[in-house]
Every structure is written in C-alpha cells, then in structure tokens.
Chains A and B, each alone.
Chain A
Amino acid sequence: MSEKELLKGNIAIAASALNSGCECYFGYPITPQTEIGEYLSYEMQKRNLAYVCAESEIAAINMALGAASTGAKVMTSSSSCAVSLMQEAISYACCDELPIVIVNVMRAGPGQGYIYPSQGDYNQSTKGGGNGDYQVIVLSPSSVQECVDLTSRAFYLAQKYRNPVILLADGMLGQMAEPAIIDCNKYEEIDNSSWRLDGAKNRPAREIHSLEPSQLKLNQHILNLKKKYDLIENSEVDYEEYMTDDADIIITAFGTMGRCAKEVVNHYRMQGVKMGLFRPITLYPFPLIRLRELSYRVKTFIDIEMNLGQMLKDVQLAILSNASVAFVGKPVGDWLKKEEMIEAIDNIIKEQYAGIR
C-alpha cells in the first residue's frame, strides 16, 4: 500500500505491524480489537510467519515472551480487561528485557465493563499493572495515520531498548476509518545477536530470567533498568503542541481525545480566547519538562480525558507554577461532544477568568 486508503484503526495497526517486520503474532479475540488478529491470521499464514490463536490472553503474552527471546519482532493485541490478564508477563518482559509490542484498544472498565471506547487504562499502562519497579514505553495515537506511524515506532523502540512497548489506542480509533498511507518502514534494524536465544553454537549458553536469589545482583539489575528508563525519559519524549505559542489556557488531552479537543481550541480562538492544546504522544516517557516550561506562562490548564482524571495526576505533577488545573471528563461511551466540552469549559472560564473575554 503506497497510496491513501480508507483504513480502520485496527487494520492500520495490523498492516503497519507487518510492514514493520512483525514475525510473530499471538492473540485471543476481544471487542473492539478483534480485526487485528483476523487481518493478521490471513496475512501471516500467507507469509509463513508465526501466528497462534492462543487459548487465552495469558497464553498469548507468554508465547510473545518466548518468541521475543529469540530476537524476533513480536506483537500481541487485546483490550482493557484482557490486558489486565497480561500484566504478570509484562512485568517479566521488563525484567527480562524482552521487546514485545502490546496493542491495547481500550474499552470500558472496570472489570468486564463493556465494549464502549474509553481511556481508562492510562494508569495501568504508564504506572505498571504488574509487580515491581518497571516501566513500559507507552505510545498514544490520535488518528489512523498515527496508528500506522506509532506501530512502526513501537517495534523500533521495543528493539532499541529491549523493553515492551504498549500502543495505547481506544475503541473509537480501532473501529473508525480515515484515509492513511502505509509507507515503507523508516526505522533502522537493531542488531540483537548479542543476547537472543538461538542455540549455544560457538558461544557459552545464554539464560534469560527474572528470578535472582542474590540480593546484590537483583538490586543491581533493577538499578540498571532504572538507568535505561532514565535514558528513555531523556531521549524519547514526544508530544504535539497546537496554538500554544501565546496561549493563556491550554487543554491537555491524549489519544483520540487529543484530536477532538482541537475543534474546541478552534472554537475559542474564533472568539478571541487564547487557547492551545498540548497532546502527549508518548505517555511514558511523559513530556513533563515541556509541560512545566509552559506552565510558567499559562494561566489555566484544562485536562480532558475519557476517564475520571488519570493523566490529570501527571499534568498536576508537571506544573510547579500558580497555574490552575481543571478537569473535564467522562468515564466511557460516546466520546465527549464538542458542545459538551465547550459547555464545561465555559463554566471553568466563567469561574476563573471573568475578565478575559
């Protein structure tokens, strides 16, 4: 595909994975991401690549763990409540330093919730749903084209840092279609010959394990991981700014909500209100420093999420100035409409900025 096609988010992710050299996919069906597995079942079999309809998400992520240990490019995909099932193995993969791309097309929770879209897994993804000190790189697409681009980047970052990467999409983005192009993969190949398990030929045997009875070694390993996370925080932060140059008010939003909020910014700009949008593209590493810089000259931040305020905590952490932080959100279902957001923001502005308009 080198021309624009009207692509569903899920299909865009799957097609981009193949285009990025994905060799192994393991998955179990769950709405609203099932098309990813359906698409790949056909395309991967055609290419003699590894595809297993796993018996559970637990099996799927563990197959991914095994496959990643061989140095292969590996992906699994699922949705919220079933991504919860994968948390143990994600913790292992971080400790084992194994590159796995995990796609979470978020649906409503907690528990089984329902298939409605939501952004309720921000905390689980960025703070870790499993045990121990670890970090997963989290990328957040806001359009179908970004599903394509960030899937490629996910494979690259996973290999580069030997770390799991979560592509955090949502049911809205997974199901909707937009014109998008699947270009050639622009990322370099990472050499993994120094660690992959491919048989102890002309070298000592290698072992990949998280169990470590030696306190000293275990501490050292976790400290080494921390150094890696520091490096990631220094090198991989990505975000989009929209009309923030002269903004008094900045909306913070991620993923699908990040793009919907632009319409709101446009609305207020038409009325002469100096509003802008700050959209983190990497949720981990979170663009804390840039947000902090902005906070010294911005009066109000309005965080909008399809949850009850999860990224909000990171926004609050970033802001050291006197800028106030307000929240607009709703847990699940139909995305907040422009009119609903405007109504909520009007009230916030009325309370805080009686003089500005």
Chain B
Amino acid sequence: MVKNFIISGSGGQGILSIGSILANIFMLSGKFVSYCPCYGAEMRGGAVNCEINMSDCELYSLQNSKVDFVVALNQTSFNKFISKVKKNGTIIVNSSMAKIEKTRDDIKYIFAPLTQEALKLGNIKVANSIALGILSKILGNLPLDAVKNAYKKILKDKTELITKNLEAYMLGLNYIQEGII
C-alpha cells in the first residue's frame, strides 16, 4: 500500500523540516519511504514543498501526478496544490493564512487556524507540527515512539524545541477529536 504526501508553504514555515520528520517517522516505523524536496532558487523566500512516499514494499516512483494528502500552510500553496489531491484524498489547510474555500467536492478538506494555535502555544514556528498531528490522526495515529525519535533526529539536542514541537503535535493529534473544527 503506497501513500503519498505533499507538504507545502513558504520559506521559514518549516516545510522541509516537518517533511523530513514525517519521512523519518515512516522509516522508524519500518516502512519504505522516499522524501523529495524542491530545491534551489525556490527555497529562497518563495514557495517550498516536498513530496513523501510511504509504502510497505520497495518504492520506485518518487514524484506523482496526484497524491493522497496535501498539507498547505499558506494561500499560495493551497492554490497550487489543490488540484494535486487524488479523488477521495485529503487536504489540510492553514486557515490562518488561507481563505476557507471549497472548490472541489471529491476530496476532504480540513481547515485549521494553525498559525493562531501555534501563537497560543508561544511559538509561531510550530504550526507545522500541529499540521503533522492532524495528519497523524487521519492516518490512525502514527506510533508515538517513532514520532518522538524523529523529532530528536532532526532537532538533535534542542530539547526545549523538541518539547514545544511535541506539544504542538499532540494538540494537532487531538484537534479533530475535540471537535474544534
């Protein structure tokens, strides 16, 4: 079973970090995984995205015409990637930075004010981790040990930042359940 993801936003929103964390979580849960970031000029202040493939068997394809899940942390990436969502796929949109608008009826939308929620937690940069939490919930809760270890791999010895991100992740994980959306 192959599942694929696009995570998108603007430079500074931690798109590549959270993509890499997601890929690490899959790896640590024993899955096959590939992670393809956009690179080069696009990284400097502009739109940033990465594509992640996860599978139970060896992975061959790296980039797909359509994907199962899109996370869009701003309006530009929402506009750019809405058409990339597969039929019956899901898009998670940061409604703090994108208009709540449904142009397709064959996919599932999840709008959440990620930036505002991150600010409430005291760090605007953890919006990406809230999104990851929501994604994890949809995927049926990613193994928590793998999540914790993935954060440790990427953020290394920045323990405070790891704690804050995990807090944000847990917030995202409980978001749908608590009926906030």
Direct contact of A and B (CB under 8 A): yes
- Name A's B-contacting residues (CB within 8 A): 4, 6, 31-32, 115, 171-172, 175-179, 256, 259-263, 266, 334-335, 337-340
Output the least CB separation between A243 and chain B (Å). 13
Q: Can you identify 23 A-B contacts, CB atoms within 8 angstroms?
A: A6-B33, A6-B35, A31-B40, A32-B39, A115-B40, A115-B41, A172-B62, A176-B34, A176-B35, A176-B36, A177-B20, A177-B23, A177-B36, A178-B33, A178-B34, A179-B33, A256-B62, A262-B60, A335-B63, A337-B63, A338-B61, A338-B64, A340-B65
- In the bound assembly, the distance between CA atoms of A338 and B61 in angstroms comes to 7
Partner-A contacts on B (CB < 8 A): 20, 23-24, 27, 32-37, 39-41, 59-65, 153
Total contacts A to B, CB within 8 angstroms? 62
Q: How far is the CA of A4 from the CA of B34 in the complex (A)?
A: 13
Set of chain B residues within 8 Å of A340, measured between Cβ atoms: 65
The CA of A40 and the CA of B64, in the complex, are separated in Å by 33
Q: Are B27 and A4 in contact (CB under 8 A)?
A: yes
| Closest CB in chain B relative to A169 CB, distance in Å | 14
- Residue of B at shortest CB range from A265? B60
User: B39: which of A175, A259, A262 is its contact (CB, 8 Å)?
Assistant: A175
- Given contacts A179-B33, A339-B65, 12 further A-B pairs with CB under 8 A are A31-B40, A115-B39, A172-B36, A172-B62, A175-B36, A177-B36, A177-B37, A178-B33, A261-B60, A266-B60, A334-B63, A340-B65
Residues on B with C-beta less than 8 A from A177 are: 20, 23, 34-37
State the CA gap A172–B32 with chains docked (Å).
Answer: 18
Contact pick for A338, options B27, B37, B65, CB 8 Å: B65
Give the residues in chain A near B24, CB-CB below 8 Å. 6
Closest 10 CB pairs of A and B: A115-B40, A262-B60, A177-B35, A263-B60, A176-B36, A263-B61, A175-B39, A179-B27, A337-B65, A339-B65
A260 and B36 contact, CB distance less than 8 A:
no
List, in ascending order, chain A residues with CB within 8 A of B37's CB: 175-177
Question: Given A32-B39, A176-B37, A179-B33, are A6 and B27 neighbors across the interface (CB < 8 Å)?
Answer: yes
Task: Judge whether A31 and B39 touch: CB under 8 Å.
Answer: yes
Q: Which of B20, B34, B59 neighbours the largest number of chain A CB atoms within 10 Å of its CB? A: B34
Closest CB in chain A relative to B1 CB, distance in Å: 14
Q: A256–B62 Cα gap in the complex (Å)?
A: 9
Question: Using Cβ atoms and an 8 Å threshold, which residues of chain A touch B63?
Answer: 334-335, 337
Complex Cα distance A339/B27, Å? 27
**Residues of chain B with a CB closer than 8 A to A115's CB:** 39-41
Query: Within 8 Å CB of A339, what residues of B?
Result: 65
List the A side residues contacting B39 at CB < 8 Å: 31-32, 115, 171, 175
Chain B neighbourhood of A32, CB < 8 A: 39-40
Closest to A177 in B: B35
Q: How far is the CA of A171 from the CA of B62 in the complex (A)?
A: 13
B20 with A335: CB separation less than 8 A? no
Instruction: Output the least CB separation between A13 and chain B (Å).
Output: 15
In the complex, how many angstroms separate the beta carbon of A91 from the nearest chain B beta carbon?
A: 30
B145 CB, nearest partner CB in chain A, Å: 15
Task: Please report the C-alpha to C-alpha distance between residue A326 and residue B121 in the assembled complex, in whole angstroms.
Answer: 58
Question: Within the assembled complex, what's the spacing in Å between the Cα atoms of A335 and B51?
Answer: 13
Bound state CA distance, A262 and B39, in angstroms? 25
Q: How far is the CB of A176 from chain B (nearest CB, A)?
A: 4
CA distance A334 to B23 in the complex (A): 21
Residues of B close to A337: CB separation below 8 A: 61, 63-65
Enumerate chain A residues within 8 angstroms of B60, measured Cβ to Cβ.
259-263, 266
Instruction: Verify A335–B62 contact, CB threshold 8 A.
Output: yes
How far, in Å, is B2 (CB) from chain A's closest CB?
Answer: 9
CA distance A339 to B61 in the complex (A): 11
